[in-house]
Structure 1
Amino acid sequence: MTLTVSTDRRDGGILYLIVTGEVDLATADVLQQEIATGLDADDVPGVVVDLTEVTFLDSSGIRVLLKGRRSAEERAKSYLVDAPRGVARRILDLSGVREHLAYQGTGGR
């Protein structure tokens, strides 16, 4: 399965990354690059990673999501992994990381 990431700017410039498909070893680098690009942009106060349409998530995906949170914290930008459903939500809950995937930086949200 492939992974697609579309973007949208809302809420005062917050970058929304709408992720569709499977986030696994073969596709995690795509998501990592999108998160990094968003957090590196000077005009982006924060990033929201929308997992509504993610059908699978493995440890590679979890690693990328946690790395994004750490990067946001280093840059004092807000970061939120939003709306995981089904398998993705269950994996985040079972791994105990879902509660750690939000950061309220000075960029606000």
Structure 2
Amino acid sequence: MFTTEQLRRVYERMIAAGIVFDKPEPEQTPVVHESEPLPVLSIATTKEPQRPKPATFEGFDLVTGERRVYSEREINRMSADEMKRALQMTVRGEMELPRIGPGPNGRGYQA
């Protein structure tokens, strides 16, 4: 901590040594001329964001067998069997992994 007497002595010695204390220049305020109109800033209006199209599924009517388009809501309300029939989802053969690579025992697959 410094006393005011110590700070005063340091200040006097610095002035005697030629160290000049310049006062900072005051900040200049922007000059607004009356003849210049101020620009009007506004947010440009844009188009409305596009709404996502509803999910649809092509399939066959369960009663008539005719082709038709089902909405996502209709598909979600169907049972699994109804959905398989309406969208003609079938599994052919057994589901199995492809027979490539070294195999489970490292000896390869036997044909």
Task: Identify whether the pair has TM-score above 0.5, normalized to the shorter chain.
Answer: no
**Relative contact order higher in (CA < 8 Å, ≥ 6 apart):** 1
What's the TM-score, normalizing by structure 1? 0.18
Of Structure 1 and Structure 2, the greater strand share is in 1
Kindly name which structure, 1 or 2, has the bigger radius of gyration based on alpha carbons. Answer: 2
State the TM-score, normalized to the length of structure 2: 0.18
Name whichever structure is richer in helix by fraction.
1
